[in-house]
Amino acid sequence: MSNLYTEAYDQSIHDPEAFWGQIAEECHWYRRWDKVLDDSNKPFYRWFTGGEMNTCYNALDLHIDNGLGENTALIYDSPVTDTKREYTYLDLRDEVAKFAGVLAAKDVQKGDRVIIYMPMIPEAAIAMLACARIGAVHSVVFGGFAAAELATRINDAKPKVIVSASCGIEVKKVIPYKPLLDEAISLSTSKPESCVIFQRKMAQAELKSGRDFDWDDLMLKAKPHDCVPVKATDPLYILYTSGTTGQPKGVVRDNGGHLVALKWSMKAIYGVDQGDVYWAASDIGWVVGHSYIVYGPLFRGCTTVLFEGKPVGTPDAGVFWRVISEHGVKSMFTAPTAFRAIKREDPEARLMADYDLSDFEILFLAGERTDSDTLKWAEDNIKVPVIDHWWQTETGWAIAANCMGLHHFPVKPGSPTKAVPGWDVQVVDPNTKPVPPGEIGAIVVKLPLPPGTLPTLWQNDKRYVEAYLEEFPGYYKTADAGYIDEEGYIYVMTRTDDIINVAGHRLSTGAMEEVLANHPLVAECAVMGVEDQLKGQVPLGFLVLNAGVTEDHDKIIKEAIQMVREQIGPVASFKTATIVKRLPKTRSGKILRGTMRSIADCKEYKVPATIDDPVILDEIEESLGAIGYGKKAP
């Protein structure tokens, strides 16, 4: 039976140029495109070639020109600082234009890079939009990352300017950012010409003369800057994601395709339109923050909520209900981890009764697979549709979802529903042959990818092809495994590489292993993601010590955990490790991480035929049991 979803999906697959071309007409262009889809340089497909536009103009100025300048664009709600502030589209445009002038005065020009290393404050969004306004390429680095991680991004992006703040706040703890920034710059071979620092009253940063400048001082003298037309195919931002080698990959997002896809997705997927209040409870350091705190809602003319807090502890497990009630949120997007935390603190949802949620219509969950318990708890208590959907940093927006603005399909626990229009999702075997419905295989997307997805990696076309396109020719490799059922519902079961998903944050176990291997007493190590009731997955480390080491094992483990914390950051949630005599391996020397994970998660497994010594698995079971994992846990 035909519905808006099936009509849109069929056209998007069979006539993508007509489908996306019609949607693009809703956007503002200085120059119309020559071609909707340019396939002249496969596999590097480009969207809207020849078109000229400006992302910031479409996010702010266009609504003002259409008479909506007094509508609320952004609500800043910060329970950690007891601050609430609203910006109209006019207010936000004026602040962004001024900061664009600040960047221009620091000689930032079209194509230059700007790294933004900031907490969840309005100035972070202002800095992003200001870069877009003048055609600079921003790269936001999550404030929780350590100096070494920031340094790798500085070296790769080579920013002319870094924008930061004096501190961030984690619940009640003030985290000074400036010492981390200074250390990162000292570690970097590439040095920024200037740093702009927003001083927060909780901690004042010491500014280095000649390099560091105070945000407020510069804004007082700034001349507002107009929007600069850029090509649709010019880069808007670089967002670094974990790589299996430990070296982060710089995902590139273009301007034109990003605008078209995200503006459409707000209504088609999330069911919101101009004037509606939308809240993505994430961080601007992640792709969710880019797509659905800053750009998507503003493209659509919505009111976006920028929240500086946590689902519990700021001050309690009722804070989400307060924000929804107070600001009239219609549609919300967060990670299942947040709801597991709320459920743990308030299992009967008693705090919900204190708030009026009558404006709230839809809850979206993503970032990790939504377990059925969390889904049922949310459905039973909130009494609105709870929609799991699936996407990645690389894709920029949802691959699979229940598209609430097109057609509401019945929810199936464990499935993010069906492929979104534009996405030709298939499940294949190692030879790229499609597998039957219900059979597990590698989840891939037939090329070309729709607009808004990554066209390449920053200055690394070769790695883009190797990482995403080489293994399954003609397809994008999602690195997820799963199946599609008879009705077209997609089930994402597991990762096919070493990226683990900690509370919605994709992190590389390979990067953690590189850190642990640098401990002077560690001979070899392995890190894997094990199941965690709250965070979905957490990393678990196995350390094999050098022969003859007599030092206290607890001390070594504490040192190893601290090393990961310092070099990757607290976001890794690396808190547990065990020392083992040896690691189970194949005869060719490959560590059997999947088998070890199955033991830790109490799952059935077959002893691999290629294992060099099956007795090792008994030793692993004993070691895991001693730290509370597996069937031998006390």
Architecture in CATH for domain 505-626:
2-Layer Sandwich (3.30)
Residue of 180, 288, 262, 293 whose CA lies nearest to 505: 288
Non-local CB neighbours of 301 within 8 Å, separated by 6+ positions: 63, 68, 71, 273, 274, 275
pLDDT confidence of residue 508? 67
Average pLDDT, the chain: 92
Averaged over 514-523, what is the pLDDT? 85
Residue of 99, 141, 150 whose CA lies nearest to 117: 141
Q: Where are the domains of the chain?
A: 4-309+389-477, 505-626
User: What distance, in Å, lies between the first and last C-alpha atoms of the chain?
Assistant: 54
Asked whether the predicted pLDDT for residue 411 surpasses 90, the reply is yes
The CATH number of the structural domain formed by 4-309+389-477 is: 3.40.50.12780
Q: Is the dihedral of CA 140, 142, 143, 147 positive or negative?
A: negative
pLDDT (tens digit per residue) in 113-159: 999 999 999 999 999 999 999 999 999 998 867 898 899 999 999 99
Asked whether the predicted pLDDT for residue 610 surpasses 60, the reply is no
Do residues 444 and 477 lie in contact, with contact meaning Cβ atoms separated by under 8 Å? Answer: yes
Cα gap 190→426, rounded to integer Å: 42
pLDDT confidence of residue 592? 82
pLDDT (tens digit per residue) in 435-471: 999 888 899 999 999 999 999 999 999 999 999 999 9
Which residues share a beta bridge with 231? Answer: 52
DSSP class of residue 60 equals: I
The pLDDT-based confidence of 588 (bands split at 50, 70, 90) is very low
Q: Looking at 138-147, 360-369, 397-406, 600-609, which range is the least confident one?
A: 600-609
pLDDT confidence of residue 587? 52
Asked whether the predicted pLDDT for residue 496 surpasses 70, the reply is no
- Tell me the residue ranges of DSSP E strands in 222-342: 230-231, 235-241, 249-254, 277-280, 303-307, 331-334
pLDDT (tens digit per residue) in 298-340: 999 999 999 999 999 999 999 999 999 999 999 999 988 788 8
DSSP class of residue 244 equals: T
Cα gap 371→535, rounded to integer Å: 11
Local structure of 331: helix, strand or coil: strand
Quickly list DSSP for 494-552. EESSSEEEETTEEEEHHHHHHHHTTSTTEEEEEEEEEEETTTEEEEEEEEEEPTT--S-
pLDDT confidence of residue 594? 80
